[in-house]
Structure 1
């Protein structure tokens, strides 16, 4: 008789040392990916600067340039169209994976594509984004670098024999490292990985992501410089309780703004899908709207990092702030809805900052401080990532003293967003492809509940000395497909199933043969009352058995059985914990 050896080790032995070793290997790989992603961030920003100089100033240079400083007359309309047309051609004849702002595509690759991204995407995504942004597209570099860094991690992982979960870890490590390389925000990049990309919180995934981010952050000063990307002088207003309360209220307003922007974006996208022209031409149509917006106010062109700095400094006139709030929103929504290549973080920072700066005209304190609060709120509301939004802006500016207020704004925006929007601006795009994603994490009850909580106690058993003739007759009227076979002391010998009875009947086995003899070569999985239910479910999958006997670890007597149906009881327990509401004091143990 073959029983599973040591099916449930003691608690002190539950640690998976092979998983520990894999984590160390992944951490080592992540350090290389972090360095490569930092280089990718530098390359992307260099390409954007080169494209900006070529399109707007007609020169070969990688020096920082702003389209708003160019004086090209009516060509301000033609340049975005030309750049967008190139992007459309690249998507049509290169890879349509470069369309969009990058983060939804990364999420989709993680959840539905086994974290596999192609070399073509790794090359074309930064190139198309540089052309799009450099020609005046109202986007940021963060979405493209998340996709590009993710592709670097995925391609590296595909060079080795790794599982899909391990590839996901390295993909996300590359994405987070790329974001750190662009913005110099290591903690926010880690939080973005946790809130948006990983869909888990495990040492195997968290440690490599942190390693990649720290390596990228360490390499950034040598490539792009050190210090906050947007330092400014304004400090929080004196009374923190007042500032936090006002930030919470402003955050709720920003949650409404986030919901409106998300709704409008997908309405625009629907309008493009109704056009009687191939999608290759849509970015050019979006580019035309961008050019017309540039005629109204050139500040709406390009990534707009200078606008973010000016909002924080309080250096923009009210007219320009209004233009950023309205015109920038229109050109960004139309351009992004057209399917061109570019990110959402920088535009959201501008739109949230503009609304915050307007509120700062009537709220106490400097307008730049309220622009900062607006940026935190809009990111939280639009992306459903409140911790990322709150921390990202303080790392961008170096104003960690504003963290209580950014957390308040992020919480207010997040609460309103959840109430009025079914999905975030990131996951709505995926949902429209029929793939619905829930951005809520909870502990899997299968991992902490034990078998004894849901097993069927004292199950019906079959005696080991029962003749198989009697067993065949028993299974013709049995309620279940299988039953434990036990010896005279109730100790588990095997599991007899209806398929066993059918096999004996067809083969003409001797009816006087006992069950113990007929099943002497069977390998039987088993579990103990303290076994986590998740491990029992794994045993079912590994053995193909729908019922697992539960035995006492000391006596090996059968004390219960756990079936697939019993696993569904766990869902009932979870739903009851969520929905049953009652008053009363907790029972006193032993009382």
Structure 2
């Protein structure tokens, strides 16, 4: 007699074909989501322009406008306060989820909220961010559009009742597509999804994210133009070894700047939490500091995309660069710490670029080149996304020949950030809510180790010819395990007998005079083979509720070993020892 089995070692079964179909379905959905995110990016930029014109020029227009050109006198202090007060009201009576950067909220929704975002967030986040940035808030549009694009993907998935994993894929696809719609950086957006948002590397998620991003990139020329967002004509220095060495050193300095900004941001946030007033009023209090910063230099107000362009062009005086480095940092830290709505990416680019341009005064080549290098380092150090930072800088400018230098800077900033900060500027916000996130990806050993490598070989077995009475006595005399394989004369698996079976037989008035093979002949037993991935064996344990799975020979069902829950736990400790044991 042989036990009924599930043949799990086959590499391609129905479940795998089902996964293929899901990937194709999600890829099709990502086309729709990417289109929605691209148009969402266009709407967000128009809303920002409309708010800027309304607040600073008193006109209703969606044409691009620069706050620095406004002539409002001392009202430069009042306007950010009014805009921030509106944000506080929207957050209290609309949704608290509109507060903050946008990216941490997307990460939290992915990891802890089953990737569910509401229609209210999809509407209020871009609206609140447009008011915030348009009234002078020192933020960028990337965080809001990542949240908005993610909400579009999440809502689409919820509409068609997709699973949490499928919702996550479309949420991230929408987020990456939204970022591409704003900046025209598809490669960096895909890498941001991988380094910051997905927390996995699977075809099911990677393919739809790429398709959604490419669709948004295809729409962008018709909506916002095809050229790089920040082109500059200054040629970078030649790619010889001192250049990369200098870029690496600059990356270290920018990484220190990123660590300092992150630490100061959460000190400011803690200070607001100690205020004896309702949080609804905090953005307005932060708006006062923003307005004072605007009095010092109006360039620190708003998204500041023109500042990024000027840093790259090398057209700013050292005094202005210092203002962007110091005053922009102060108003951004206070405004963001107050809990208003806005993104972190554009301000980080400005502050990283300002430090790069400042150091570039003493380095070979143009200051614009070093400003670009500083931007790559800042994004890498602050967000813990080195590949994203390096590619983002060159895609924004079109200077792909500078990629070795931006990678060097991104690596230097990333290394110093990891050494100094326990978390990134994004995950620190989530950690303060009691949810600690590890941004390091490793291969799950359960997915590549096989049962042969983990099992206990030649396990203790019971003969199928053993009587029920002898089996009860065996368990009663202190059997080592709770379950044992029952085998026939050739060592082939018949079934598994457990301590609970023995207890059930023991309470019967008269023990049956039958053998284990006869008593258990109708049992259905899950089995695995030597080359079965232990992750699949773990799934069998969960599905069947059985804590010990026999490992048998293919074809004969001869018992070769046993794999228990304890064996699975040992895999983790073995992997941990491999990380630190140098003996």
TM-score of the superposition, structure 1-length normalised? 0.97
Deviations 1:541-587 (A, max 9, x none): 111111100001132110100001001221232123211225xxxxx
Matches within 5 A, 1:43-82: 43-82=43-82
Contact 1:2 1:522 in 2 (8 A): no
SS of equivalent to 2:496: strand
SS of equivalent to 2:437: coil
Contact 1:2 1:521 in 2 (8 A): no
Map of 2:254 onto structure 1: 254
Q: Kindly state the Cα deviation for residue 7 of structure 1 after the two structures are TM-superposed.
A: 2.1
Matches within 5 A, 1:438-453: 438-453=438-453
Q: Kindly state the Cα deviation for residue 368 of structure 1 after the two structures are TM-superposed.
A: 0.4
SS of equivalent to 1:511: coil
- Distance in 1 of aligned mates of 2:138 and 2:427: 21
Matches within 5 A, 1:197-346: 197-346=197-346
- Distance in 1 of aligned mates of 2:381 and 2:169: 26
SS of equivalent to 1:523: coil
Map of 1:16 onto structure 2: 16
SS of equivalent to 1:440: coil
Question: Structure 1 residue 503 and structure 2 residue 473: aligned?
Answer: no
- Distance in 1 of aligned mates of 2:329 and 2:509: 79
Matches within 5 A, 1:525-544: 525-544=526-545
Q: Kindly state the Cα deviation for residue 11 of structure 1 after the two structures are TM-superposed.
A: 4.3
Gaps of 5+ in 2: none
Q: Kindly state the Cα deviation for residue 511 of structure 1 after the two structures are TM-superposed.
A: 2.9
Map of 1:524 onto structure 2: 525
Matches within 5 A, 1:390-401: 390-401=390-401
Map of 1:588 onto structure 2: none
Map of 1:384 onto structure 2: 384
SS of equivalent to 2:529: coil
Q: Kindly state the Cα deviation for residue 61 of structure 1 after the two structures are TM-superposed.
A: 0.1
Gaps of 5+ in 1: 583-591
Map of 2:492 onto structure 1: 491
Contact 2:5 2:527 in 1 (8 A): no
- Distance in 2 of aligned mates of 1:202 and 1:93: 39
- Distance in 2 of aligned mates of 1:423 and 1:509: 65
* TM-align CA RMSD: 1.3
Deviations 1:87-111 (A, max 9, x none): 0000001110111010000000000
- Distance in 2 of aligned mates of 1:164 and 1:33: 16
- Distance in 2 of aligned mates of 1:94 and 1:400: 43
Map of 2:548 onto structure 1: 547
Q: Kindly state the Cα deviation for residue 507 of structure 1 after the two structures are TM-superposed.
A: 4.8
- Distance in 2 of aligned mates of 1:507 and 1:212: 65
Matches within 5 A, 1:138-153: 138-153=138-153
Map of 1:463 onto structure 2: 463
Contact 2:9 2:529 in 1 (8 A): no
Map of 1:573 onto structure 2: 574
- Distance in 2 of aligned mates of 1:324 and 1:508: 88
- Distance in 1 of aligned mates of 2:63 and 2:432: 40
Map of 1:96 onto structure 2: 96
Contact 1:376 1:409 in 2 (8 A): yes
Map of 1:437 onto structure 2: 437
Contact 2:9 2:531 in 1 (8 A): no
Deviations 1:41-94 (A, max 9, x none): 001111101000000001000000111110100000000000000000000011
What stretches of structure 1 move > 4 A for 4+ residues in a row? 11-15
Contact 1:7 1:525 in 2 (8 A): no
Contact 2:107 2:197 in 1 (8 A): yes
Number of residue pairs matched by the alignment: 582
SS of equivalent to 1:478: coil
SS of equivalent to 1:562: strand
Contact 1:133 1:139 in 2 (8 A): yes
Stretch moving more, 401-410 or 518-527? 518-527
Contact 1:99 1:340 in 2 (8 A): yes
Deviations 1:158-180 (A, max 9, x none): 11232211110011000000000
Stretch moving more, 558-567 or 475-484? 475-484
Contact 1:2 1:524 in 2 (8 A): no
Deviations 1:330-371 (A, max 9, x none): 000000000100000000000000000000110111100000
- Distance in 2 of aligned mates of 1:216 and 1:300: 30
Map of 2:356 onto structure 1: 356
Map of 1:478 onto structure 2: 479
- Distance in 2 of aligned mates of 1:473 and 1:59: 92
Map of 1:418 onto structure 2: 418
Contact 1:450 1:529 in 2 (8 A): yes
Question: Structure 1 residue 187 and structure 2 residue 187: aligned?
Answer: yes
Q: Kindly state the Cα deviation for residue 13 of structure 1 after the two structures are TM-superposed.
A: 5.8
Map of 1:36 onto structure 2: 36
Stretch moving more, 519-528 or 38-47? 519-528
- Distance in 2 of aligned mates of 1:484 and 1:210: 49
- Distance in 2 of aligned mates of 1:83 and 1:240: 49
Map of 1:112 onto structure 2: 112
- Distance in 2 of aligned mates of 1:34 and 1:108: 21
Contact 2:2 2:557 in 1 (8 A): no
Contact 2:6 2:527 in 1 (8 A): no
Stretch moving more, 457-466 or 253-262? 457-466
- Distance in 2 of aligned mates of 1:370 and 1:214: 29
SS of equivalent to 1:16: helix
- Distance in 2 of aligned mates of 1:64 and 1:509: 91
- Distance in 2 of aligned mates of 1:381 and 1:76: 33
- Distance in 1 of aligned mates of 2:498 and 2:578: 35
Residue 491 and residue 377 in structure 1: after superposition, are their counterparts in 2 closer, same or farther (change >3 A)?
Answer: same
Contact 1:189 1:388 in 2 (8 A): yes
Residue 56 and residue 10 in structure 1: after superposition, are their counterparts in 2 closer, same or farther (change >3 A)?
Answer: same
